[in-house]
Every structure is written in structure tokens, then in C-alpha cells.
Amino acid sequence: MTATPNLLSTDGRLPLHNPLAPPAGTDDQATTVKCTTCYMCACRCGIRVHLREGENGPEVRYIDGNPDHPINKGVICAKGSSGIMKQVSPARLTQPLRRKPGSERGAGEFEPISWEETFAILTERLSRIRATDPKKFALFTGRDQMQALTGLFARQFGTPNYAAHGGFCSVNMAAGMIYSVGGSFWEFGGPDLDRAKLFVMIGTAEDHHSNPMKIALSAFKRRGGRFISINPVRTGYSAIADEWIPIKPGTDGALFMALMHELIKHDRIDRPFLQRFTNAPQLVVLDEGEREGLFAFDPDPAKGPPGDGRNPHNKLVWDTTSGQVMAAYPEGIADGRSPALTGTYTLADGTRVAPAFQLLTQQVAECTPEWAQAITGIAAGRIRALAVEIGNTALKQAFELPIPWTDAWGKTHPTTVGRPVAFHAMRGLAAHSNGFQTVRSLAVMMSLLGTIDAPGGFRHKAPYPRHIVPNYRAFNDPEQVKPNTPLNAAPLGFPASPEELAIHADGSPLRIDHAFSWEHPLSAHGMMHNVITNAVKADPYRLDTLMIFMANMAWNSTMNTMAVRELLNRRGDDGEYQIPFLVVCDAFQSEMVAYADLVLPDTTYLERHDVMSMLDRPISEFDGPVDSVRVPVVAPLGQCKPFQEVLIELASRLKFPAFTGAEGARKFKDYPDFVVNFQPQPGIGFLMGWRGEDGTEHLRGAPNPKQWEMYEKNGCVFQYHLREDQQYMRNWNQSYLDFAKEKGWRQKNDPVQLAIYSDVLQLFRLAAQGKTAGRQPPEHLRERISTYFDPLPFWYPPLESACSDLDAYPLNAITQRPMAMYHSWDSQNAWLRQIHSHNYLHVNPVTALAAGIADGGWCWVESRWGKVRCMVRHSEAVEPGTVWTWNAIGKASGAWQLDPGADESRKGFLLNHLISEELPFTDGDGKSAGTISNSDPITGQAGWYDVRVRIRPAEPEEPEETFPQVAAPPPAPGVLGKAQKVLTYFAGRKTR
């Protein structure tokens, strides 16, 4: 531990507030500092925690940013510096709890039990399920940062019923980009603002990325970069944009289609890039039949690596110089060749074909700016001007870096070409039921401009780019769900064809959430938002035990909140709960805790070991991989135990093969031991820094028993800088591809052509059209799949809009995460509550006044599914057809140990009450086919931002409090109930 000096102002006097000074009237104890990684949001900045010895060991005194950390370079935000108030939160759970016999779920009546009893209950129950029907155990987690462990636990248990929060967060952003360019935004890649000249941000609030984006934006603006924000709401980053372009929610795809129309029409596209690095010139079969819409293949295996359905390289192009068909690689890109991008051609066997780009051109032909204006609300002239601006920036302001690199076909490029238009998008695009195709249209538009892993454009972060489709097949074989047997594949992955769906022979879903079924085939992150509803309906079967970690499914992490709370408590005809056993692991008494049969008290991020791993979601930078750790800086409170330790203990007691030796002895003492010694393949572990027995190897090497110490000594972070010639064009950069394979980030070293045209989507469409002999979808889903699995991007109205009376519900309603809070964690934080203690519905004054609602007045917001009463703020910073509010500030009365009269429950509200987790579903003949998840039909991403609403003034006699209200549960046994000892100082004096 390092002693830090007291901070004195330059004139030698104490500053007004010196948090590092010893408390007045106490012994002059040295403040010590420990580095770890923030988890007040998911950006994972490096922090320094300042500690002082207290009565029961070190106490957190102050948190600031670590100036030596590559992610935040010392910057810290309001959330990060308020971690101390999370640590001392009155809502902290402190001991394991069991629901009192005879009490109702939701009543929150618990009795304390020991960890030994807790493990005995779990071991008995889980071993019985595992020995009989493992799929009856489901593990779903919130924004956990150790999916490599939680996923491994489920796989070793033998249940396919596992997912983290991605299905209700931003899977459309991940999958839409990964299936198109092999990487995505945020943890996977992002805008190179160091070299961009124009930055276009779309559908992004403040939260993804946070500090790193602020740092980059600040430098970008100082350099004179131009920043355009396209968003229904002007908040967060948009506040410093040079131009705000308001857009109607769920219509971004129409804007991108119109921009592509303009870029192609006026030839503002990077043709050489498209010809060499994308599948734009590759020939697609036009003739009807089982090959219709798929790429024509050269059957000669000598023409390239054999296709395995993932990124095959034996496709064909039409060479315009010789006027003949030839293999796309390497012949089609040889010097002197010029693969056609347009036209239609006939192969020697009479097959009619066309380059994929020709089909894209046809797809966008009708998508004029006038067409998009009617959908997006953006004037056609503005769309045209935007297309000119992005096209000219990419092509006319292009520059070259003196960095030679060699592509996968042996051509050395003397320089690296920069395309200085950068885009960034997040949940505003993703959280719609048309989000996958919207994100794909953005990815294809970026590809037209050649701005993929180029200086000044979008850049990947290791281990991305992945193959298209990534070499991770999700578990899909019902026969392999066997007693006491691990699954033969991970529960989550990326399907490449209908043969990889997780379904039974009759086409019904294998998983409780219906992920990877015909309903949502490419649901790469699972569908957590379906679990409770499906489990209660026993659709497709009944669960025994549902374990929820860090997800507030009884409040803000669920749609249709009041109904889901009732479902959690629903009993069957036999009087038993429809979900027989519910285990909740949380650090705080959230709304979800009251519904648990067993409560596992988790630690805070300051009390445990964690890894931000290359096996999961690391914190890599553009120039190379970065991973990091958390180390405990204070002891766990009470009996709190990290969930990681719970899983390691359970895996050992249940004798999972990966966690126990031949005689059943446990392999890993604890979680840190597991992190050091577990290797999914030789030399590859959870952490890539300081490997090898003496810690001298990096990226790959034998386990190092002192690895944790070495991370700790180095600020809890490891950064590796790639050679400069490996930092760009990584889809095709042979040196990088070889390196990535050698280090275990990729299974192969072959290039990744961008998928302008997705034959993977076409495989599903062909099956739905009955044109292929393989797996066929159920009849009622054929038209749905045929419609949405278009191999080319397209725009369609969000599903809820398509089935709603838009005259009755004329407004879109969306939420955003506030800058100062992360999910529900922070509206209980004593410091952050002073920034937001409740939320308003923000409405354009024109819209609010037309409805007769005054600024500050109370109103009702109604959707087809429910209603809320809340307060309104007039705001010019929202387009007139949209209303919005902050997410997750509203709390259930009494939860999180807030006073039942607290603003959060009396004035705060959740929009979730208005959103249904299911929509009515009609088959292709217009007949009712029951309900289906309110999600993207391709990925299963929850359609949070699709809801349609209307507003009206509340009546004067109505109470001035939000609706609905719920009864406050009693404090859980052992919950702190009041803040732990909090040190407060003013001007160097201790005030209590």
C-alpha cells in the first residue's frame, strides 16, 4: 500500500475540502491507496480507493480515477466517485436468508440461515435436478462481468437454460454488427475519434461508453472535429453536438436506407474496398430453388479453403476485364482484374446470377430521402446533405498513414488509408423489434464508405473481429441434455443455419426462454425477459429452480412489471408455486429480493476479486488487448460472499468435471485460484498478463501462481500494444490474423469478408419458404421468418406499431439511463440521489400544451398494456412525437431501504409498466396464433423502445403521487437499515 501526501494548496493552507487529510482531532494516520476497477457502471475505469484504518479494518475514505489506467486516464464520473455510498448503503444484505415457512412470496418475510445450510439446500436440490432432468435448472444473470464463469457453470451443470442480460440490453447492436462486419461498438470496437473529422452518433445516450467517450469527444471537439447527433432526444453527449438531428424512435433504419440510396446514386462509395474486402461483388443465384439467393460456389476445393458454412472463401465473381466468371479469391482480386459490382450474368450451367451489390442497389432503389422523410421526420433535403457530407468526408478527406500492411492474399499495401467519418450507435437502435436489420443497415452503410477498421473510422478491439459467423455454436441438441452430464457446447453462441437451432424434432423450443428457436433464431445473448412468463406457463416445460443473479426482475429489469410480480407469486392448481424454487443473489434489498425462496448476499465490487477477461468482455483498446481485475480493498460486510465463490463452491460440491479431479476432489480452492489455473485451452486462461510460471510471458503461457499479485502491482490492468502494422484492417490483415490465431483469439487465420449480403439470413428464409430440404419452421412462423430474414438490410415498422392503433396511441415513449446513475443500483445512493431523486416525463411543449398538461403538472400516460401517473416537464430537447424519461429512478415503496415516503417511490415512476413482454401474434393467414415475445424476430432483443402511448392531464382531485404504488415489504433480517458509520468532514473538521 502506498501512502499519499496530504493535498495542500499552493499557498500552503489546507484547501476548503481535503478528503485525504487525516480527520481533525485524530491520530495522524496515513491514508493508504489501493488500485482496483470501478463497477459503478460497466465502463470499468481504473480507480484508486483511498483507505483509512477504522474500528474494524480499512474504511473507504475517497475514490478517484487512476491516472495511469488506459481506459479513463484518471477521469472519474459522479457514479464512480460515489462508490463509497454504495459501500455503506443501508440496503446492504448481510447474511443468507430463507423465506419463512408459510409466508407468501413477495411479502419479504425471511429467516437468517448459515452459509453451510444454504450450500446444503442448494447442493441437495441442484444435485437432484442434475441427476434427473438438468434443464429444470435455469441460471439467468444481469449485467454480470464474468459470463465466462456463469456460462461454464451452466454448461457443466448440463442445462441449456442460461443467459446474461444481453437479450434485454443490446444484442441487436452486437449481433447486427457481428453478422455484418465481425465486430461491434463499445467493448467490441468503436469510433476512432483521434483521427476522425466527422463524428455521427446515433441512438446513444450517455452510458455507452462513458468516461472514455467523454475524453475522446472532448479532444475531438478541441481539434475542430464536427459532431452530429441523431436522436429523438437531445441529452448527454448530444448536448455538445454541433448539430442535433431529431428522429422518430425506431426509424433509424429508414434513414440509413435513404443514405445508402444517395451514396450509391451519386457514387460516393469506396468501390475498390467493396471489390476486395466485402462480398459485394460475389455472385448470388437468382434462379428459384434451393440455391436461390445463396452465393454461387466454385466446387473445386483447390480454389480456396473449404467452406464450412462460416466465412467460406470459394465464392465466384464476374471479372469485367476478361468477361468471365472466376473464383472470388485469389483470381478475382489479382492485379488487372475488376470484379463487377452491378449487372446480371449467366454461369456456364445456365444459372442466372448477380453481384450482391447489384441486389443491394435494387433494395435501396425506392428508399428515397422523401420516403425516409415520411418515416423519420427528417427533411429530405437534410438527408441528402448528410449523405453528401459523410460521403465526401470518407472519400475526399481520406488520408494515408505511412503504415504498410499485407493482406490475406499476399498484397502489400504501402500505406494505410484513413476514412475520417466515424459512427457510434447503441441501444437507441438496438432496443426495437426492427433493431437487427437497422444495425445491419448501419454496418452495410459504413462498409460502403470503406470505414471499417480504418484510421478515423470504426475500429475493432481485440479479440474482434470474429468470423462471420463467429465460430461459436450454441448448444442445440436435445439428446445431449442428459443426467449428470455437461453440455457438449456452450449454452450461447451464433447460429449459422437452421441446422444449428436449439429445437426439438417437431420444431418446438429447447430452451425455457425460446432463444435459438424458430421464434428468434439468432438470439445470441438469450432472452432473459421471457423466462418468468414462460416458466409460469410451463412453455415449453416446467422449471424446478430459477437462479437469478444481479437482475431486478420484479421491477426495472422486466416489462409489464406488475404482472410479472404476480407471476413470480403464481400458484398452480396443486397449490404449489409455478416456479417452485427461486434463488436470488444480490448485494442489496432490491425489489426482487422479496420474491426469493433463498437469498444469497453478494459483495460489492470493492470487496471481491473479479476479472474483465479476454474470454468474456475485456476492456481492449484499438491498439491492442487490455484486461483487468478487481481486488478486494475492504473486507466483505457481514457474511456477504461473492457470487463467484458461491459458484466455485457449488461446482465443487456438485462434482462438475471441470471443477473436480478423478477422485472427486475439488480442483480449485477458491475463485482467485480458479482464475489463475483454469485453462480452456493450453496456455490460455482468464487473464492474459504475466503468464508463465515466473510471470514473464504475456497473452499465452502456463499459469502463474503470482498472477494476481502482478496485476495488483500494476494497477490491476494489463495492456498489450500490437505492432503498428497489425492495428488496422484486421479483417484482412494477415499478420494480425496469424497473431490472433497464435494467441488463441481466433480458431483460424483466414480473412473476414464483410457481409453486405447475408447468405446466413437467406438460409433461414429459404427454409421458411419451403425451398430447402432441411429443417422447416412450424407453419405459423413461416411468413414471419420469410419476411424478416431478408439477406439485405431493410426497414420495417417496429412490431408494436404495426399492431397498434396509432391514432389512439400517437406518441412514442422511450427511456434513457441518466448520466449519474446506472440501472437501479444508484437511486439508493445517498450522493447520487441528490442529483435525481425522482423523474419526470419529458414532453415537447407543443405536444404537452395540446394535451392540456402544464409544465410540472401531473398526467396519465397510457399504452395498450397499462398506465402510469407521473409529473411532466416541458422540454424543447425532444421531438414532438416522442415522450421520454430516465430509466430506473422510480422505486417500489420500501425497497432498497428507502423511506416508504421517499421521492423515488412517491414521485418517481417506471415506464416498464406500459410495456408488454408479449404481443398478439397472427400467422400468415391473419389468424390469431396466441402471443409471442415482444422482441426482434431475428435476435429476440426486447422491444423496450417500441411502446406507443397517449397522455392526458391527471384530475385535480387525484393524489399527487405516481401510480402504481405497491406495499412496502419489511426490512430483511440483517439488512443494515441505516447507513454504516459515515465520516463527514467540512473544512477539515469532523462533523459527526
- Least distance to ligand SF4, CB of residue 488, Å: 37
Q: Which residues pair with 53 in a beta bridge?
A: 58
- Least distance to ligand SF4, CB of residue 3, Å: 24
Instruction: State which residue, 459 or 823, has the beta carbon closest to ligand SF4.
Output: 823
Instruction: State which residue, 211 or 962, has the beta carbon closest to ligand SF4.
Output: 211
Instruction: State which residue, 45 or 430, has the beta carbon closest to ligand SF4.
Output: 45
Q: Is 805 exposed, middle or buried (0-12, 13-18, 19+ CB in 10 A)?
A: exposed
- Least distance to ligand SF4, CB of residue 41, Å: 3
Instruction: State which residue, 77 or 596, has the beta carbon closest to ligand SF4.
Output: 77
Q: Which residues pair with 422 in a beta bridge?
A: 199
- Least distance to ligand SF4, CB of residue 245, Å: 26
**Beta strand pairing call for 226-230 and 243-245:** parallel
Q: How many helices and strands (H and E) does the chain possess?
A: 24, 39
The span from the CA of 830 to the CA of 837, in Å, is: 10
Instruction: State which residue, 39 or 789, has the beta carbon closest to ligand SF4.
Output: 39
Q: Which residues pair with 585 in a beta bridge?
A: 549, 600
- Least distance to ligand SF4, CB of residue 79, Å: 4
C-alpha closest to that of 976 among 164, 265, 94, 225: 94
Cell triple for 306? 473449404
- Least distance to ligand SF4, CB of residue 143, Å: 12
Q: What is the enclosing helix (H) or strand (E) of 723?
A: none
Name the one residue in this structure whose C-alpha cell is 488496422: 728
The C-alpha angle with vertex 269 and arms to 266 and 273, in degrees rounded to 5, equals: 155
In degrees rounded to 5, what are phi and psi of residue 533? Answer: -60, -45
- Least distance to ligand SF4, CB of residue 37, Å: 8
Instruction: State which residue, 211 or 434, has the beta carbon closest to ligand SF4.
Output: 211
- Least distance to ligand SF4, CB of residue 169, Å: 16
Instruction: State which residue, 49 or 429, has the beta carbon closest to ligand SF4.
Output: 49
Instruction: State which residue, 619 or 756, has the beta carbon closest to ligand SF4.
Output: 619
Exposed e or buried b per residue across 957-990, where buried means at least 16 C-beta atoms within 10 angstroms of its C-beta: eeeebbbeebebbebbbbbbeeeeeebebeeeee
The span from the CA of 685 to the CA of 616, in Å, is: 11
Give CA 280 to chain center in angstroms.
29
Phi/psi region, residue 150 (left: phi>0; alpha: psi -120 to 50; beta: rest), is: alpha
- Which residues make up the interface to ligand SF4 (CB under 6 A)? 38, 40-41, 43-45, 72, 76-77, 79-80, 210-211
Instruction: State which residue, 204 or 210, has the beta carbon closest to ligand SF4.
Output: 210
C-alpha closest to that of 788 among 9, 253, 411, 243: 253
Instruction: State which residue, 76 or 914, has the beta carbon closest to ligand SF4.
Output: 76
- Least distance to ligand SF4, CB of residue 181, Å: 26
Q: Where are the beta strands (DSSP E) in 371-507?
A: 399-401, 405-406, 412-413, 416-418, 421-425, 458-460
C-alpha closest to that of 433 among 850, 7, 934: 934
- Least distance to ligand SF4, CB of residue 619, Å: 10
- Least distance to ligand SF4, CB of residue 211, Å: 4
- Least distance to ligand SF4, CB of residue 546, Å: 29
Instruction: State which residue, 75 or 861, has the beta carbon closest to ligand SF4.
Output: 75
C-alpha closest to that of 279 among 796, 756, 786: 756
CB contact at 8 A, 484 and 128 = no
Closest chain position to ligand SF4 (CB): 80
Instruction: State which residue, 79 or 782, has the beta carbon closest to ligand SF4.
Output: 79
Q: What is the CA radius of gyration of the chain?
A: 28
Read off the DSSP letter of residue 345.
E
**Beta strand pairing call for 867-874 and 841-843:** parallel
Name the one residue in this structure whose C-alpha cell is 421520454: 884
Instruction: State which residue, 142 or 498, has the beta carbon closest to ligand SF4.
Output: 142
Q: Which residues pair with 697 in a beta bridge?
A: 691
- Least distance to ligand SF4, CB of residue 170, Å: 16
17 three-state secondary structure: coil
Instruction: State which residue, 44 or 143, has the beta carbon closest to ligand SF4.
Output: 44
Exposed e or buried b per residue across 165-179, where buried means at least 16 C-beta atoms within 10 angstroms of its C-beta: bbbbbbbbbbbbbbb
C-alpha closest to that of 411 among 824, 723, 17, 733: 733
C-alpha closest to that of 785 among 535, 520, 390, 409: 520
The span from the CA of 214 to the CA of 72, in Å, is: 9
The C-alpha angle with vertex 599 and arms to 116 and 669, in degrees rounded to 5, equals: 45
CB contact at 8 A, 342 and 355 = yes
- Least distance to ligand SF4, CB of residue 234, Å: 21
Instruction: State which residue, 72 or 893, has the beta carbon closest to ligand SF4.
Output: 72
Cβ atoms < 10 Å from Cβ of 1: 11
Q: What is the enclosing helix (H) or strand (E) of 301?
A: none
- Least distance to ligand SF4, CB of residue 500, Å: 36
Instruction: State which residue, 46 or 744, has the beta carbon closest to ligand SF4.
Output: 46
Q: Is 347 exposed, middle or buried (0-12, 13-18, 19+ CB in 10 A)?
A: middle
- Least distance to ligand SF4, CB of residue 436, Å: 27
- Least distance to ligand SF4, CB of residue 215, Å: 10
CB contact at 8 A, 705 and 687 = no
